[in-house]
Structure 1
Amino acid sequence: MDLSYSPAEHAFQSEVRAFLAEALPSDIAARVARGDGPTRDDMEAWHRILNDKNWLAGPWPTEFGGQGWGPIELHIFEEECALANAPRIVPFGLKMLGPVLMKFGTKSQQAEYLPRILDGRDWWCQGYSEPGAGSDLASLKTRAEREGDHYVVTGQKTWTTLGQYANRIFCLVRTKFDGKPQEGISFLLVDLDLPGIEMRPIRLIEGGYEVNEVFFTDVRVPVANLVGDENMGWTIAKYLLGHERTNIAGTGFSVQALAEVKALARKVLRGGKPLIQNPLFAARLARVEAELDAMRLTNLRMLSLAADGGQLTFEPSMLKIKGTEIRQTLNDLARRALGPAAAPFPSEDLDNLAIAPPGHAQNAAGYFNNRKISIYGGSNEIQRNILAKGMMRG
């Protein structure tokens, strides 16, 4: 679909494509395309390349080391990166904590942490979910009790993505134990090297290891690491989740996946004909393509509204729902196209198959791993509740 960018936006798109063609290492792109990565080294290498270009934090204001990109420029950059099989930028420092510190942090916190996010000295992870507080985040139990110049933190976080690589974690903790649950939450920055912290891996159904449990036992965290006022963590959490849910939509990844499914359907034969000529499969493919086109246009309308200073409220929830459903539908179509060949977990098992697509090997590991995307960042059921409340109030 040809999107109606302005001449300046088309010029920026061309600039991004040229940069990716020149600067993205081919071995890293190949691993991402196969579904074998990116590895930690890949992510850190791409982080450095983008930072050297001063494009790592493109949307950040120039005063904090960014380019001051608007929402549409960021959309173009992320979509082109996805199409080029660039590693996804780890979002926790750049897209979550960074904006929070710029809005709610003190000058000293901004000066301390923002440069360390950019140059890679700090790898942040997110401490939100708990065993009994996932979609119902307000019921979290991790406690932070003040003792002089420190908070003493005790509790547990779970589903902590890439925590095994991180040296710091931003956490929601309970600092008030009566009244409405939302009113007693604070936002705290924690050094993972502090005594009393244990990180345990969680093995996923496809055999991968990218999420963790984190246990805090009487961890002493300086009060200076509190972001915003005590007990205003719920306000900060909602602000951060708005950034996360828009990012989860992943239109660029869906555009890429659609192209791969089409390439696969042209190779796979059913009844002596390419699968793409099968009326039922073609209808399913056409439906998801139409939904993707509609979502991209809706996304651009929202981005245009935000660029003009408009306030987005429940719209990120809509993008999160539709974006994750489309990505899972494309995974399912690839699985149906491959049939028994989708069963192997390692992508190498598919490399020699004549029907394997030229890009990402749509194996069982990728299919199962992407079942999570409609759950994290607030499950799609929760997002529908947010939409319903927003529409009724509107």
Structure 2
Amino acid sequence: MDPEPAPGVPRSPDPSAQHRGRSSHVSLPERNRSPWWELGRRLLAALGILVGTVLIVYLDRDGYQDGNDPDNVISVIDAIYYTTVTLSTTGYGDIAPVTDTARMINAFVITPARIAFLVLLIGTTLEVLASQGREQFRVARWRRKMGHHVVVVGYGTKGRSAVDTLVNNGLSRDSVVVVDPSPLALQDAHADGLAVVTGDATRREVLRRAGVAEAEQVIITTDRDDSNVLATLTVRQLNPDAWIVTAVREQENAPLMKQSGANSVITSSDAVGRLLGLSTVSPALGSVLEDLLSYGDGLEVAERDLLVSEVGRQPQSLPDQVIAVVRDEKVYRYFDPVVTLLARGDRLIVVRPARELPWAPRPGTHNEDVAE
């Protein structure tokens, strides 16, 4: 068993995970097998049709006539020759079936085999070429559209919940890129309609493929604090301006994550523990907090612009329940003397109904003038 690291020191990366991350590729959400695997499989099927037809012709060689051989002897070479020119629809006519049995076999066995041979060989080749070109075009188009997107490192429970929250708040799934080395994560992300870069996010090349340098936000949610630290450092090197949100399992690693360049650090184990404790001490308070963290019904926490009609008013006097005010990129609690009166450019953190109700309208959602 590996020894536990000292407090504040994250574990070292898993060497096997690093090895898996050395090769990465962009994978868009579409279930495809390798085109070359498909080509090889169908070529083998075409070869099987060819060999089977040669055997049929050779075993029934007495039913064929060779116009170029006075002795009319059909050899193995003749059977191969007749099969190839017949399946390829060339049909020179120098070897031809003459008996009723041979003609029936040609009509009901060799003719369907010819059709299958052409479909497998020519059709598959065109399909492979078209599939490769189509996939390269899709990836190139995807790269051109990337910019100001969100990169999610790790597609476990936390990563999926983060993506669901982003999508529920209006972000397009086309603007989300998942980075994860796991085949299971690849399958899950594709099922959710997300593009995936397979590889280890602590490696610079993998993050480059995900377009981290042009990303607006990066969410890092792997299950290891050491991997999160290395990924945060690498992301910050590639993109000094990205907003990085990182999850840590242990609170003692949160300062280290901040020093690595994370703008926001969420302690998953402590947050769950506090919610469990509050739900035990006060079940009503726990249910309210769970309601705030869920999406779609009940209450939600949201950020919105200040309206022109709200300038100069106190936060407590607004229709929404204001809990904080964002001014000059700093967050103030609603009772802070600095934000006693609201000013242009402020943004509000509010608690409001998740769905607008007739008796509870949602200011800022009806084309009101914004106090920018």
TM-score under structure 2 normalisation? Answer: 0.23
Larger radius of gyration: 2
TM normalised by structure 1 equals 0.22
Task: Kindly indicate which of the two structures has a greater share of residues assigned to helix.
Answer: 1
